[in-house]
Amino acid sequence: MGKFVVPKLGLPNPATLRRYKPGQPALEGPALLGAAPGGRLEKVIEAQLHRADIDVVSTPAGKHAALVFDATGVKDPKQLREVYDFFHPVIRSVGPSGRVVVLGTPPELAEGHERIAQRALEGFVRSVGKELKRGATAQLVYVAEGAEEATESTLRFLLSSKSAFVDAQVIRVGTETKTATAPADWAKPLDGKVALVTGASRGIGAAIAEVLGRDGAHVVALDIPAQGADLSKVANKVGGSALQLDITAADAPEKLAEYLTTRHGGVDIVVHNAGITRDKTLGNMTEGGWDSVIAVNLASQLAVNEKLLADKVLRENGRIIGVSSIAGIAGNVGQTNYATSKAGVIGMVNDGAPKLAEYGGTINAVAPGFIETKMTAAVPLFIREAGRRLSSLGQGGLPVDVAETIAWYANPASAAVNGNVVRVCGQALLGA
Ligand code: NAD
């Protein structure tokens, strides 16, 4: 129906986004690398890009698959001119599904004019994201001093087709400066790891199970007993195990801790993906509609985290990953309960980051925008089409886009990526 109506409205066809396939080249063309004078990242990044089999050039080479700029040398607003001087002549040379990445110093770790100039980079990157065409994206990565070597997994992710639907995001690496270990094999970074994925029987959860399994993890796929048949299919497909459990049950944290300890000796990655909606405007919302959403989307996750940390079931260098939503950032009509729970997930990341850092792990979240699933297929046609179109990439994302972002957080080399909430929304205009 949508495919028939949309061309009649005269809307342009969105670009086909390049998505990851094992064995595909890291980039389809050279990456132009530049730096403001005095930058501390250029040399390190050059080595990282070479290791990722990326053809790095320092002078413009016609078409570019990526433009990467080290802006850590920008210490004063006047020096922002360096950013213009680098990008202005080459911005039109970015190819389809191309990448723009600007690297800076976290403003909160700088002072005075440097802090102001570094903060200014956000406006630049978010605007470039809106101007780029043909599926190209722009990101800003703030790298703390001392965390230069810890940026490799983030750069690889952002430059690759795994970040197809991540656009105009601001990512912080190493604000508590941690050492990151590169995986023995970048194609199987999660080898030997155990990953728990809740709500894994379908939709985004099934895609997360598949991607973490592809990356080498043993996946414990969890869902409610009513989803048992679909859950088994997912678990079998990824060579993992199925665990039927309602995560809101009072004894769920205890059962989960026991299962993970006896079967696997612990867990390395916990993905809180299970989520529900019970949409009604506030005046029409029942107590039950409010309570069930907060219970599944937030309260049960806190109870599980607390148990896994208290009993040290989450292993050293462990990862907790939440699934928020752009509704949790922007709010939405009919979703006071859902948006409250999803903003609470952001609170969970903020509160958990220092605790996890002390524990030797990380906590981060993704905030998906419009993702093509059964949930969004049920949205009325015109609202659905608006949801897809009102973004810089002009389309909805796929469950795999959310899954790839989660796999980046889970990578052992992402040990210095803590306390981030990255939107997987194609730069949706909602809550921009
Ligand atoms: P979905 O409804 O297809 O899948 C959610 C899964 O969670 C289901 O399999 C369900 O059985 C399971 N679940 C629900 N309650 C549970 C409980 N008490 N215990 C265990 N499992 C339970 O939804 P989806 O679209 O795949 O969404 C996955 C996550 O992504 C959710 O947290 C959702 O809020 C979030 N999200 C989705 C979108 C989107 O566009 N689809 C956008 C933003 C955020």
Query: In this structure, are 214 and 333 located in the same domain?
Result: yes
Nearest atom, ligand 1, residue 402 CA? 30
323 lines ligand 1 (CB under 6 A): yes
**Which pLDDT score, from 0 to 100, does residue 35 have?**
98
Picking from 259, 265, 254, 191, the residue whose alpha carbon sits closest to that of residue 221 is 259
Instruction: Find the 204 Cα to ligand 1 centroid distance in Å.
Output: 7
Does a structural domain hold residue 115?
Answer: yes
Tokens (6 digits) for 351: 């509160």
Q: Strand, coil or helix: what is 141?
A: strand
Catalytic residue among 259, 338, 359, 409: 338
Does a structural domain hold residue 302?
Answer: yes
227 lines ligand 1 (CB under 6 A): yes
How sure is the predictor about 324, in pLDDT bands with cuts at 50, 70 and 90? very high
Query: In this structure, are 219 and 357 located in the same domain?
Result: yes
Question: For the residues of 216-237, what is the DSSP string, one character each?
Answer: TPEEEEEE-GGGHHHHHHHHHH
More reliable by pLDDT, 355 or 9: 355
When mean pLDDT is compared across 62-76, 106-120, 364-378, the lowest value belongs to 364-378
Query: In this structure, are 292 and 348 located in the same domain?
Result: yes
Nearest atom, ligand 1, residue 206 CA? 26
Q: Which residue has its alpha carbon closest to ligand 1 atom 40? A: 371
What is the phi-psi region of residue 418: left when phi exceeds 0, alpha when psi lies from -120 to 50, beta otherwise?
beta
Query: In this structure, are 114 and 206 located in the same domain?
Result: no
88 lines ligand 1 (CB under 6 A): no
Other beta carbons less than 10 A from residue 294's beta carbon:
16
Q: Is 338 a catalytic residue?
A: yes
Does a structural domain hold residue 178?
Answer: no
How sure is the predictor about 379, in pLDDT bands with cuts at 50, 70 and 90? confident
Question: Across the chain, what does the average pLDDT equal?
Answer: 96
Instruction: Find the 200 Cα to ligand 1 centroid distance in Å.
Output: 8
Q: Give the CATH number for residue 415.
A: 3.40.50.720
Tokens (6 digits) for 107: 């403003």
Alpha helices, H only, 221-373: 228-237, 252-264, 287-294, 300-310, 327-330, 336-359
**Which pLDDT score, from 0 to 100, does residue 299 have?**
98
Does a structural domain hold residue 183?
Answer: no
Query: In this structure, are 231 and 332 located in the same domain?
Result: yes
Query: In this structure, are 222 and 334 located in the same domain?
Result: yes
Q: CA 426 from chain center: how many Å? A: 12
Other beta carbons less than 10 A from residue 290's beta carbon:
18
Torsion of CA 178, 114, 107, 318, to 10 degrees: -10
Picking from 376, 357, 401, 323, the residue whose alpha carbon sits closest to that of residue 162 is 401
Q: What is the mean pLDDT of residues 265-287?
A: 97
Picking from 270, 233, 240, 229, the residue whose alpha carbon sits closest to that of residue 253 is 270
**Which pLDDT score, from 0 to 100, does residue 12 have?**
74
Beta strands in 151-272 (DSSP E): 170-173, 194-198, 218-223, 241-244, 267-272
Of 144, 173, 202, which closes a domain? 173
Q: Which residue has its alpha carbon closest to ligand 1 atom 3? A: 203
392 lines ligand 1 (CB under 6 A): no
293 lines ligand 1 (CB under 6 A): no
How sure is the predictor about 380, in pLDDT bands with cuts at 50, 70 and 90? confident
Question: Does residue 393 have a pLDDT over 90?
Answer: yes
How sure is the predictor about 432, in pLDDT bands with cuts at 50, 70 and 90? low
Picking from 140, 130, 119, the residue whose alpha carbon sits closest to that of residue 67 is 140
Q: What is the chain's length?
A: 432
Instruction: Find the 199 Cα to ligand 1 centroid distance in Å.
Output: 6
In this prediction, the answer to ipTM > 0.90 reads yes
Query: In this structure, are 169 and 201 located in the same domain?
Result: no
**Which pLDDT score, from 0 to 100, does residue 25 have?**
93
97-148 pLDDT per residue, tens: 999 999 999 999 999 999 999 999 999 999 999 999 999 999 999 999 999 9
How sure is the predictor about 167, in pLDDT bands with cuts at 50, 70 and 90? very high
Does a structural domain hold residue 160?
Answer: yes
With beta carbons less than 8 A apart as the criterion, state whether 125 and 87 touch: no
With beta carbons less than 8 A apart as the criterion, state whether 362 and 418 touch: yes
Nearest atom, ligand 1, residue 275 CA? 32
Does a structural domain hold residue 137?
Answer: yes
How sure is the predictor about 424, in pLDDT bands with cuts at 50, 70 and 90? very high
Query: In this structure, are 208 and 320 located in the same domain?
Result: yes
325 lines ligand 1 (CB under 6 A): yes
Query: In this structure, are 348 and 265 located in the same domain?
Result: yes
Other beta carbons less than 10 A from residue 304's beta carbon:
22
Looking at the 3D structure of the chain, how many domains does it have? 2
221-249 pLDDT per residue, tens: 999 999 999 999 999 999 999 999 999 99
* 101: containing domain: 31-173
Picking from 403, 416, 12, the residue whose alpha carbon sits closest to that of residue 209 is 403
Q: What is the mean pLDDT of residues 240-264?
A: 98
Does a structural domain hold residue 5?
Answer: no
Residue that is written with structure tokens 């065409």 in the block: 133
Query: In this structure, are 87 and 220 located in the same domain?
Result: no
Question: Does residue 183 have a pLDDT over 90?
Answer: yes
Does a structural domain hold residue 354?
Answer: yes
pTM to 2 decimals? 0.97
48 lines ligand 1 (CB under 6 A): no
**Which pLDDT score, from 0 to 100, does residue 268 have?**
98
Query: In this structure, are 55 and 105 located in the same domain?
Result: yes
Instruction: Find the 256 Cα to ligand 1 centroid distance in Å.
Output: 19
Nearest atom, ligand 1, residue 323 CA? 32
Instruction: Find the 281 Cα to ligand 1 centroid distance in Å.
Output: 20
**Which pLDDT score, from 0 to 100, does residue 8 have?**
61
Of 173, 203, 237, which closes a domain? 173
